[in-house]
Structure 1
Amino acid sequence: MDTLAQLKAGQLAGIKRLDLSCGLTQFPREIFDLADSLEILNLSGNALRSLPDDLHRLPHLRVLFCSDNAFTELPACLGQCQQLSMVGFKANQIEQVPAAALPPQLRWLILTDNRLSHLPDELGERPLLQKLMLAGNRLEQLPASLAQCHNLELLRIAANRLTQLPQWLLTLPRLTWLAYAGNPVESAVELAIDDNTANIPWAELELAEVLGEGASGVIRKALRKPSNEAVAVKLYKGTITSDGSPLHEMQACIAAGLHPNLIKVQGRVIGHPDDQAALVMDLIDPSYRNLAGLPSLASCTRDIYDPASRFSVAVALRMARGIASVAAHLHRHGITHGDLYGHNILWNAGGDCLLGDFGAASFHATADTLETRALQRIEVRAFGVLLEELLERIDAGLSDDQRQVLEALRERCCQPQVLARPAFEEIEALLSSL
């Protein structure tokens, strides 16, 4: 983290990224001294309410983060920044988004956890828009103009007030990762949740070290008494994440049931001293590791793989079959995962894999309707992206016939006509035949 003193002393000349979080109430004018080089500006965690009208004097600015501040309106000056493509104003008090605030190169917009009740029609006039994060607002509808955003791949609209999903949304040719939990449109679905989920008293758990932490909660190792079985305990946070509500994630984990490619839920924790929601899950063998890393600012919607990542044909096919199988299982239970990505898959050297992180999961009707089919086929595109990433990293050994079949499958999964994509049952059967 850079310091204001360094900035004012002229010690940051030539830097491309500036991070300032020090209780700012006004935009430091010294930032303009970095105009020749500054590309990424992070002013999150301050008390800012406005930005200067001449922000465009930072001609190379591509990324701007102003989360956790006190903005009530998205600043109109953003629209004059010709290179600005990523805008993040999570957890402010924003009620208005003026059309003038939308930069022409907008690719990634984060307005999670604000007070928005509507968005301007001009949002659909940003053809590069690829990632749109709107969870935790007061939206009752989306601008119909978004139907023109044919590059939109990731959309987070969970925890709003939408009573229906617009028809155009289900036909977007590149939409791949969709989260809409916590809206009336989802709440109207009858959930087939297993009421037999065990209740595990907090007093029976002896917590140990932290295994991981994400936006929705903290995972800790624990001993479950009296058997002293080693388990994992996920303690959920109560705040809105970029995907939606952590409590919806917990509900989806329970509703998903049992499958070899899911982490088994042992039960729901009761009696936490602070009434914190928590689940007890099987402890994952340490031989498992993440398949990929999160997308970067540059890759936007694409995972980052270790350059050394290579898979044998058998391992790649085993992972692909496993993910197709668990996705089919979830769809039969009326659940779309919403975040089917390599970074949410754990795998081992034998090709065993587990799909985790249900933070973006949503419920849909189990009846075979056009809407249900479309929601499921949107997720099929995510599988097509994953299959492409696996194919790029297969060691020698894939026959020409196998590659031809897999490439054809990938093309079908990613084709722009949503309802023409195959269902996961068909994908699983085809992969099993290989």
Structure 2
Amino acid sequence: MLAAGLGSGVLLRSLNLSGILELNLKKAGLLALPPQIGELSQLTKLDVSLSPLSDLPEAIGKLSQLRILFCLGCRFGSVPIVLGTLPALYMLSFKSNKLTSISPAALAPTLEWLILTDNQLTTLPSQLPKGLRKVMLTNNKLRQLPEALVACADLELIRLADNALERLPAGMLTMPKLSWMGLAGNPLLARGGAGFAPLPAPRWVHPDELSFHEQLGAGGGGFVHRATWTCAPGATPVACAVKVFRGAASVTDGDPAHEIDLGEALSHPNVIRVLGACPAPQLGLVLELLEPGEWTELGLPPSFATCTRDTYKAGTAFSLAQVLTTLQGVAAACAHLHAKRFTHGDLYAHNTMIQPRTGEAKVGDFGAAYNYEPLGPSSAPLIERIEVRAFGCMAEELAQRVGLEGTGPIHSASIAAKLTKLTKLIEQCMRPDVAARPSFAAIVATLADI
């Protein structure tokens, strides 16, 4: 892969890149992409992000092998029509541009992963690629979604927070593979009507009460630091973690204020406890401290190849006892959330912390969470069972890693029988018929019997 700060007047031909597979022109300052780009016939990945580009040359249509194109943070007002002709395009990002419209012809039929976060879109095309699996639309101005979206039977993840949606297309909540859906910050979830009590206010923590220490981690929503909190004059400082949020527009899950609003309502032993919130201008959450030596992330985020499914370090293996303990904790947390009509929206192994020795789990990162009570009683069971499929995906990934390298062969008939029961539960959680999936309360009971 080439990463170079090329000026706009430099011709790609002069660099002799004919056989290159990946080209990184991020922050290259290009005012225009030269037509010689079309001569890179083997190119599979192109990144022109953070440049003042507002159009692409027709020659880009010659890139028959191009699978991934990043145009993040440029100046595009529309997606160039020529991109719809690319025969192998799998992933397309126009995050943080100036998009106001998209022609159906601009979206290649082969697209599976589409990122349009932080634009000015009011509508989507009436026709969409049928193979879409992952669509990011947070922070636009969408008032409605096209009925064609429901025809995307492979769609698993969609981010729709901070738009202007007043309703969902008929049939959206029964899409067979939908597992992760973000909706916070839309009128359809407004709690202003009669019968909807306001969410409890957070415990605000003044910055002067906190002392920050080393960074413990980072993710799409922000950075996590070790800290100490002196909650009152003369009080003994309390060890904690502080999640410092990125800017609202750049967060794919939605405005960090949504996560802050929910924090006080999400108390459960298998949920990372929220102690308080930091006010603007630097929004943050004060969380219970999970010591890095005692707790670790269950998995890693999806890769370009896996799209919607988490990844794991090479050689990762679990005992069946660890897996069952982890799944029992996650299911119990989700049962608690959904009893209060909350959905996590981003239930993944990479958002779950575990104690490696025991498998004890705590679910975190509620950036995509929301209360769905305003959608009405008929929608509630379906919203829960959409998340049940996400749980099924996690359970499938963990079950696949039982008895791998480091655990030895499975000889016990008892363990084999338990794995069979777990596999059956996973199949139930991933049924195409959304209403036929079990509730989280039922999953907790089933796991207790395995």
Q: TM-score range by the shorter chain?
A: over 0.9
The correspondence of residues 27-426 of structure 1 with structure 2, limited to 5 A, is 27-35=33-41, 37-123=42-128, 126-188=129-191, 190=196, 193-195=199-201, 197-225=202-230, 226-240=235-249, 241-256=251-266, 258-270=267-279, 275-286=281-292, 287-349=294-356, 350-365=358-373, 369-395=377-403, 396=410, 397=412, 399-426=415-442
The Cα of 1:54 is off from its aligned counterpart by 2.7
What's the offset of the Cα at 1:252?
2.4
State the alpha-carbon separation in 1 of the partners of residues 375 and 328 from structure 2.
25
> How big is the shift at 1:368?
7.7
Name the aligned partner's letter for residue 384 of structure 1. Answer: G
Deviation at 1:310, TM superposition (A): 0.9
Q: Does 1:429 align with 2:445?
A: yes
Structure 1: distance between partners of 2:421 and 2:198: 36
Task: Please tell me whether the aligned partners of residues 191 and 363 of structure 1 are also in contact (alpha carbons under 8 angstroms).
Answer: no
Q: Gapped runs of 5+ residues in structure 1?
A: none
Distance 2:95 2:117 in 1: 5
Task: Render the CA deviation track for 1:159-183: whole Å, top value 9, x for unaligned.
Answer: 1111122231111001011001100
Conserved 8 A contact 2:112-2:134: yes
* 1:2 match: 4
In the alignment, is the contact (CA less than 8 A) between 1:177 and 1:340 conserved in 2?
A: yes
Give the direction of change, closer, same or farther, for the CA distance of 1:7–1:404 in structure 2 (3 Å limit).
Answer: same
The C-alpha deviation readout for 1:329-387, integer Å capped at 9, x for no partner, is 11112211011111111112211111111111121118982201101100000011111
Name the CA distance, whole Å, in 2 between partners of 1:16 and 1:247: 41
Of residues 99-108 and 224-233 in structure 1, the stretch that sits farther from structure 2 once superposed is 224-233
- Aligned equivalents of 2:127 and 2:98: distance in 1? 21
> What is the alpha-carbon distance in structure 2 between the residues aligned to residue 269 and residue 98 of structure 1?
42
Match of 1:370, SS state, is coil
**Distance 1:368-1:430 versus aligned 2 partners, 3 A rule:** farther
| 1:29 CA displacement | 3.0
RMSD in angstroms over aligned alpha carbons? 1.9
TM-score scaled by structure 2?
0.90
1:399 is paired with a residue whose SS is helix
Percent identity between matched residues is 39
The more displaced of 372-381 and 386-395 is 386-395
Per-residue CA deviation, residues 301-337 of structure 1 (Å, 9 max, x unaligned), is 1111123111111111000100000011111122110
Supply the distance in 2 between the matched residues of 1:415 and 1:191 (Cα, whole angstroms). 34
* TM-score using structure 1 length: 0.94
More deviation in 173-182 or 395-404? 395-404
Give the AA of the match of 2:445: A
Specify the code of the residue in structure 2 equivalent to 1:315: Q
Contact 2:135 2:159 in 1 (8 A): yes
Matched-pair contact (CA < 8 Å) for 2:303–2:310: yes
Amino acid at match of 1:411: E
Q: 1:163 to 1:368 in 2, by over 3 A?
A: closer
SS at match of 2:286: strand
SS at match of 1:218: strand
Structure 1 residue matching 2:205: 3-state secondary structure: strand
Distance 2:359 2:115 in 1: 35
Equivalent pairs, count: 426
Deviations 1:38-75 (A, max 9, x none): 10001111111001123111111011110100000111
After superposition, what is the alpha-carbon deviation per residue over 1:119-143, rounded to whole angstroms, capped at 9, x for unaligned? Answer: 11111xx221111111111111111
The question of whether the paired residues in 2 share the 8 Å contact of 1:211 and 1:220 is answered with yes
Query: What SS does the aligned partner of 2:127 have?
Result: helix
Counterpart residue identity of residue 172, structure 2 = L
- Confirm or deny: 8 A CA contact 1:334 1:366 kept in the other structure: no
Deviation at 1:34, TM superposition (A): 2.1
Gaps of 5+ in 2: 404-409
Residues 371-416 of structure 1 show CA distances to partners (whole Å, capped at 9, x for unaligned) of 0110110000001111111111112256332122211111111001
C-alpha spacing 1:191/1:414, structure 2 compared with 1 (3 Å): farther
User: Structure 1 CA distance, aligned partners of 2:166 and 2:418?
Assistant: 44
| Equivalent position of 1:22 in the other structure | 28
- Residue 203 of structure 1 deviates from its aligned partner by 1.2
Q: Residue 54 of structure 1: SS of its match in structure 2?
A: helix
State the one-letter code of the partner of 1:211.
L
Q: In 2, distance between residues paired with 1:307 and 1:222?
A: 32
CA distance in 2, matches of 1:199, 1:160: 27
3-state secondary structure, aligned to 2:171: helix
How far did 1:99 drift? 1.2
